[in-house]
A = this chain, B = another copy of it.
Amino acid sequence: MAAKFLSRGPLDPQDAKWTKLVLSTYKDPNGVERTWESAERQTRPDNCEIDGVGIVTILNKESGPELLLQKQYRPPIDKVVIEVPAGLIDPNETVEQCAVRELKEETGYVGVAEQTSSVMYNDPGFCNTNLNMVHVRVDMSLPENQNPKPELEENEFIECFSVPLATLFEEMKKLEQQGYAIDARVGTIAEGIELARRFKL
């Protein structure tokens, strides 16, 4: 059964538990005082500069490397979105610990964090949300990765799949035509692969 959108309305900040709007005041490079509206999560732990992680996991299939992806219904856009596994950081957790934990919870795979990207800001003219992309290596020969079982929370509905890196760009186009939404982090990885191929990097 699919999720079903019912309604959307204004949210009073008094009632907001997860999100907030803020107004920043700054002097521009000419010394003129200006303001800027933006949105933030309320969930970032104290003394932490990061909201969450995205997880890049490559499954080495016989036919070639595949990127681990998931389909998840996202109420803010009322669409099922094609995303990398991801999650918010718990207090006192490193981004690498978060990535390994979330990968296990959302996909069932047990992996090892092997590379962490720059901090990336999702839409820094609009909000402060950010993440580290963590590359997690999954050894498909291990017994625990033979038949991975996600451990989803009761409000999580996630379907895992994987797409060959070599055809990621075309597959995203096809999935969009089928009605799925494409997360920008996945879509721009696909763009990068296409650029590398076009310019033979």
Of A91-99, A103-111, A142-150, A186-194, the stretch lying at the interface with chain B is: A186-194
Q: Verify A188–B184 contact, CB threshold 8 A.
A: yes
List A residues 41-82 near B (Cβ within 8 Å).
41, 56, 58, 64-65, 67, 73-79, 81
List A residues 1-49 near B (Cβ within 8 Å).
1-13, 15-34, 36-41
Q: Verify B24–A188 contact, CB threshold 8 A.
A: no
User: Which residues of chain B are within 8 angstroms of A190 by Cβ–Cβ distance?
Assistant: 192
Contacts A29-B3, A39-B19, A184-B185 hold; do A165 and B76 have CB atoms under 8 A apart? no
Number of copies: 2
User: Which residues of chain B are within 8 angstroms of A41 by Cβ–Cβ distance?
Assistant: 126
Contacts A10-B21, A24-B5, A155-B28 hold; do A118 and B196 have CB atoms under 8 A apart? no
A141, CB-defined interface residue at 8 Å = no
Of B25, B29, B182, the residue contacting A120 (CB under 8 A) is B182
> Can you list 28 A-B contacts with CB-CB less than 8 angstroms, sorted by A residue number?
A1-B30, A2-B29, A4-B26, A4-B27, A5-B24, A9-B22, A17-B37, A18-B37, A19-B37, A24-B76, A28-B155, A39-B127, A58-B199, A64-B199, A76-B125, A77-B130, A117-B187, A118-B173, A120-B184, A122-B123, A126-B127, A133-B187, A166-B201, A189-B189, A189-B192, A193-B195, A196-B201, A197-B201
A interface list, Cβ under 8 A from B:
1-13, 15-34, 36-41, 56, 58, 64-65, 67, 73-79, 81, 83, 86, 117-131, 133, 155, 157, 165-166, 172-173, 176, 181-197, 199, 201
Give 17 new A-B contacts, CB below 8 A, not counting A39-B127, A76-B124: A19-B38, A19-B39, A21-B21, A22-B76, A26-B75, A29-B73, A34-B75, A36-B76, A38-B75, A118-B176, A122-B122, A123-B127, A165-B196, A165-B199, A189-B191, A189-B195, A192-B193
